[in-house]
């Protein structure tokens, strides 16, 4: 099972679901029907599932910070058809609430995939990083609400 990955959806252009395991840029791909295996030289760096709308409809384009388990199940069903290594469930997004100079902010933990296909080295997030407001806004995002420290910013309570 692959446990460190980022999922990016592009429903507006070509309904492609991109799953990355590395921030290395793919230099080649091997096509297996609807799935391409992406490589950087000889290192596997991800999968691309083409026309993903056949399997699930995602209305959102961009990084999926904390994919729901049913989405991972659908992805794994597709990967399994091609005998590819499946994804493990994510138990946290890697985006946590953290105090900085008495202000509550969102911190992207080291090793977490970010919206620009890069892996965080540990940093506070801007509006841009979180797709909040104007996506060109590079100001750090401050949380107005009374939220506890060290909470997952994208994790909602499951009932």
Q: Helices in the chain by DSSP H: which ranges?
A: 69-81, 127-130
87 in a domain, yes or no? no
Report the candidate in 126, 59, 138, 51 with the shortest Cα–Cα distance to residue 95: 126
Residues 118 and 146 in one domain: yes
Residue that terminates a domain, selected from 37, 54, 81: 81
Shared domain for 10 and 75, answered yes or no, is: yes
User: Could you tell me the CA-to-CA distances from 134 to 15, 34, 36, 47, 119 in Å, in that order?
Assistant: 24, 34, 33, 30, 22
pLDDT of residue 12: 65
148, pLDDT greater than 90: no
pLDDT(71) > 50: yes
CB distance 66 to 92 below 8 Å: yes
95, 65 in Cβ contact below 8 A?
A: yes
70 and 124 both lie in a single domain: no
Question: Which residue, of 54, 81, 108, is where some domain finishes?
Answer: 81
Any domain includes 86: no
Q: Which of 105, 92, 88 is nearest to 156 (CA)?
A: 92
Residue 1 lies in a domain: no
Higher pLDDT, 11 or 24: 24
Q: Are 9 and 49 in contact (CB under 8 A)?
A: no
State whether 10 and 60 are in the same domain.
yes
pTM value surpassing 0.85:
yes
Name the token pair of 56. 């699930």
DSSP 14-56: T-EEEEES-SSPP-EEEEETTEEEEEETTEEEEEEETTGGGT-
Mean pLDDT score across all residues of the chain: 90
The domain tally of the chain equals 2
Higher model confidence: residue 46 or residue 102? 46
Looking at 81, 109, 137, the residue that finishes a domain is 81
pLDDT in tens, 108-147: 999 999 999 999 999 999 998 998 866 677 889 888 767 8
Taking 90 as the threshold, does the pLDDT of residue 64 lie above it?
yes
The domain in which residue 114 lies consists of 92-159
Q: What are the phi and psi torsion angles at 104 (to 5°)?
A: -85, 130
pLDDT score of 157 = 47
Answer yes or no: is 55 within a domain.
yes
């Amino acid at each position: 099972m692959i446990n460190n990955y980022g999922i990016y959806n592009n429903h507006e252009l070509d309904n492609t679901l991109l799953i990355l395991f590395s921030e290395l840029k793919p230099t080649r791909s091997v096509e297996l029907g609807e799935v391409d295996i992406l490589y950087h030289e000889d290192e596997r760096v991800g999968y691309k599932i083409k026309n993903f709308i056949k399997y699930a409809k995602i209305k959102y384009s961009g990084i999926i910070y904390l994919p729901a388990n049913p989405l991972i199940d659908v992805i794994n069903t597709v990967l399994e058809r091609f005998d590819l290594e499946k994804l493990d469930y994510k138990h946290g997004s890697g985006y946590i609430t953290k105090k900085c100079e008495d202000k509550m902010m969102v911190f992207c933990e080291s090793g977490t995939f970010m919206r620009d296909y890069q892996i965080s080295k540990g940093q506070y997030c801007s509006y841009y990083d979180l797709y909040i407001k104007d996506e060109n806004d590079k100001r750090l995002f401050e949380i107005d609400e009374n939220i506890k420290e060290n909470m997952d910013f994208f994790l909602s309570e499951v009932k």
